[in-house]
Amino acid sequence: MKFKQLGIFSKASVIWLGIVMFMVVFGQWIPLPKPTNFDIDAMGVGLFDSLKHPLGTDSNGYDLLSNVIRGARPSMLISLISVGIGGLIGSTLGIISAYKRGKLDYIVNTLFNIVLSVPALVLGLALVAVLATNPDPNIEVPTSRRVIVIILSLTIVIIPILGRIARGATLSWSNREFVVAARSMGMKDSQIIMKHIVPNVLPAIYAVAFLAIGVVIVVEGSLSLLGVGIVDGVSWGSMIARVRGDLEYAPHSMIVPVVVLALTVIACNQLGDILRSQLDSREGRL
Amino acid sequence: MSSLLSLSNLRITFDTPRGQLAAVRGVDLEILAGESLGVVGESGSGKTVLSRASMGLLTMSTAHRSGTVVFDGQDLSTASREAVRDTWGTGMAMIFQDPMTALNPVRRIGSQLSEGLRVRLGMSRKEAKKRSIELLQLVRIPDPEKALRKFPNQLSGGMRQRVMIAIALACNPKLLFADEPTTALDVTVQAQILQLLSDLRQELDMSMVLVTHDLGVVAGHTDKIAVMYAGEVVEYAETKELFANVRMPYTEALLNSIPRLDQKSSGRMAVIEGRLPDPTQPEPGCAFASRCPYVQEKCQVEHPELQKADNGHQFRCHFPLGVAR
Amino acid sequence: MAGSGKVHMRNTGNTVLSVEDLVVEFALSKKTAVQAVSGISFDLIQGETLSIVGESGCGKSTLGKAILSLLPVTSGSVMFAGSDMTKIDKEAVRNLRPQMQMIFQDPISSLDPRYTIRQLVSEPLEIWSRGSAEEQSVKVDELLNSVGIDPTIAGDRKAYEFSGGQCQRISIARSLALEPKLLICDEPVSALDVSIQAQILNLLQDMKERYGLTMVFISHDLSVVKAVSTRILVMYLGKVCEIATPDSLYDSPKHHYTHALVNSVPIPDPSKKVARVILEGEPPSPVDPPSGCRFRTRCPAATELCATEEPQLRDMGSGNYVACHHPRG
String of DSSP letters for A2-19:
-GGGS-HHHHHHHHHHHH
* Integer-rounded Cα radius of gyration of chain A: 22
Do B187 and C277 make contact, defined as CB atoms within 8 angstroms? Answer: no
**Contact of chains B and A by CB distance (3 or more pairs under 8 angstroms):** no
B251 to chain C, minimum CA–CA distance in Å? 11
Does A187 contact chain C (CB < 8 Å)? yes
CA dist A250 to A53, B5, B7, Å? Answer: 14, 75, 73
User: Kind of pairing, strands C214-219 and C49-53?
Assistant: parallel
Asked if C127 and A176 come within 8 Å (Cβ–Cβ), the reply is no
Q: What share of chain A is helix, strand, coil (3-state, %, to 5)?
A: 75, 0, 25
Question: Sign of the CA dihedral B143, B146, B147, B148?
Answer: positive
Q: Which helix (H) or strand (E) holds C33?
A: strand C33-45
Name all chains with 3 or more CB-CB pairs below 8 Å to chain B: C
- Would you give the end-to-end CA distance of chain C in angstroms? 16
To the nearest whole percent, how much of chain B has pLDDT over 70? 98
Q: Provide the CATH topology of domain A63-285.
A: MetI-like fold (1.10.3720)
Vertex B188, ends B182 and B192: CA angle to 5°?
65
Give the model's confidence band at A226: pLDDT under 50 very low, under 70 low, under 90 confident, else very high: confident
- Nearest Cα of chain C lies from the Cα of A112 at a distance, in angstroms, of 24
From A26's Cα to the closest Cα of chain C, the distance in A is 37
Question: Is pLDDT above 80 for A61?
Answer: no
| pLDDT at site B284 | 86
Contact assignment for C112 to A196 by CB distance below 8 Å: yes
Query: Can you state the percent helix, strand and coil of chain B, rounding each to 5?
Result: 35, 25, 40
pLDDT in tens, B93-152: 999 887 778 888 899 999 999 888 888 888 899 999 999 999 999 998 988 999 999 999
Q: How far is the CA of B149 from the CAs of A68, B125, B203, C167, C285, in angstroms? A: 62, 15, 27, 42, 19
Burial string for A102-115 (b: 16+ CB within 10 Å, else e) reads: eeebeebbeebeeb
Dist CA A7 CA B19 (whole Å): 22
Task: Give the pLDDT band (50/70/90) at residue A285.
Answer: very low
Please report, for chain A, the start and end positions of each structural domain, with discontinuous segments joined by +: 63-285
Say yes or no for a CB contact (<8 Å) between C197 and B195.
no
Asked if A200 lies within 8 A of C112 by C-beta distance, the reply is yes
Q: What is the mean pLDDT of residues B3-31?
A: 89
Mutate to test the interface with A, among C105, C123, C171 (most CBs of A within 10 A): C123
Amino acid at C184: I
Q: Do C and A touch, counting CB pairs below 8 Å (3 needed)?
A: yes
Closest-CA residue of B relative to C166 is: B275
Q: Where does the pLDDT of residue A196 fall: very low under 50, low under 70, confident under 90, or very high at 90 and above?
A: very high
Write the DSSP string, C66-89: HHTTSS---EEEEEETTEETTTS-
Give the model confidence (pLDDT) of C171-216 as tens digits.
999 999 999 999 999 999 988 888 888 889 999 999 999 999 999 9
The minimal CB distance from A186 to the residues C65, C94, C105 is found for C94
C-alpha separations of C211 from C99, C102, C122, C165 in Å: 12, 15, 18, 21
Contact B152, B117 (CB under 8 A): no
Cβ atoms of C139 and C177 within 8 Å: the answer is yes
Q: Does B216 contact C at CB distance below 8 Å? A: yes
- B156 in contact with chain C, both atoms CB, cutoff 8 A: yes
Alpha-carbon C17 to chain mean position? 13
Q: What confidence score (pLDDT) does residue A192 get?
A: 94
Rounded mean pLDDT, B227-245: 93
Q: With beta carbons under 8 A apart, name residues in chain A contacting C68.
A: 184
Confidence band, pLDDT 50/70/90 cuts, at residue B70: very high
* Sign of the dihedral through C-alpha B232, B238, B243, B244: negative
Neighbouring subunits of C (3+ Cβ pairs under 8 A)? A, B
Helix axis angle, B125-138 to B157-169, nearest 10°: 130
Reported pTM: 0.84
Q: Which residues contact A140 (CB under 8 A, 6 or more apart)?
A: A134
CA distance linking residue B218 with residue B239, whole number of Å: 8
State the CB neighbour count (10 A cutoff) for residue B249.
Answer: 25
User: Between chains, do C109 and A178 touch, taking CB under 8 Å as contact?
Assistant: yes
Q: Closest by alpha carbon to A192, among A208, A174, A219, A216?
A: A174
| Residue A94 main-chain phi, psi, to 5 deg | -60, -45
Residue C67: which of C123, C10, C24 has the closest Cα? C24
How confident is the model over A49-75, as a mean pLDDT? Answer: 77
How many interchain CB pairs under 8 A, B with C?
Answer: 127
Query: What is the pLDDT, as a whole number, of residue C2?
Result: 45
Reported as a pLDDT band with limits 50, 70 and 90, residue C276 is: low
Interface test with B, best of C108, C187, C193 (most B CBs within 10 A): C193
What is the chain B residue with the closest CA to C219? B186
Name the least confident of B269-273, C16-20, C240-244.
Answer: B269-273
- Other C-beta atoms closer than 10 Å to the C-beta of B70 total 18
Summary mean pLDDT of chain A: 82
Query: B325 pLDDT exceeds 60?
Result: no
pLDDT at A39: 66
Q: Is the CB of residue B69 less than 8 Å away from at least one CB of chain C?
A: no
Q: Cα–Cα distances in Å, from A34 out to A28, A38, A143, A240, A244?
A: 9, 8, 18, 18, 21
pLDDT at A97 exceeding the cut of 70: yes
Q: Give dist(CA B69, CA C44) in Å, integer.
A: 58
What angle in degrees, to the nearest 10, is found between the helix axes of B109-121 and B157-169? 10
Q: Which domains, ranges and CATH numbers included, belong to chain C?
A: 15-81+181-322 (3.40.50.300)
Answer whether C101 sits within 8 Å of A187, measured CB to CB. Answer: no
Three-state DSSP state, B166: helix
Backbone angles phi, psi at C251, to 5 degrees: -75, -45
- Packed helices C194-211 and C164-176: angle between N→C axes, nearest 10 degrees: 10
Neighbours of B141 (CB within 10 A): 21
Q: Looking at per-residue confidence, does A73 or A86 come out higher?
A: A86
Is A200's CB within 8 Å of C113's CB?
A: yes
Residue C259 Cα, gap to closest chain B Cα (Å): 11
Collapsed DSSP state (helix, strand, coil) of residue B266 = coil
Separation CA C253–CA C255 (nearest Å): 6
CA–CA gap between residue B199 and residue C142 (Å, rounded): 54
Query: Confidence class of residue B1 from pLDDT cuts 50, 70 and 90?
Result: low
Evaluate if residue A46 carries a pLDDT over 70.
no
Q: Which helix (H) or strand (E) segment is C136 a member of?
A: helix C133-146
In angstroms, the CA B176 to CA C263 distance is 27
SS3 of residue B7 by DSSP: strand
Q: What mean pLDDT is predicted for residues C245-265? A: 89
Q: Which of A267-281, B200-214, B227-241 has the lowest mean pLDDT?
A: A267-281
Closest approach of C98 to chain A, Cα-based (Å): 6
Q: Is B259 on the interface with C (CB under 8 A)?
A: yes
Q: Which residues of C216-238 are buried (b: 16+ CB within 10 A; e: fewer)?
A: bbbbbbbbbbbbbbbbbbbbbbb
Residues from chain B contacting residue C250 (CB–CB below 8 Å) = 261
- The pLDDT score that the predictor gives to residue B272 is 81
Distance CA C15, CA C41 (A): 13
User: What is the structure's pLDDT at C244?
Assistant: 93
Q: Cβ(A17)–Cβ(A264) under 8 Å? A: yes
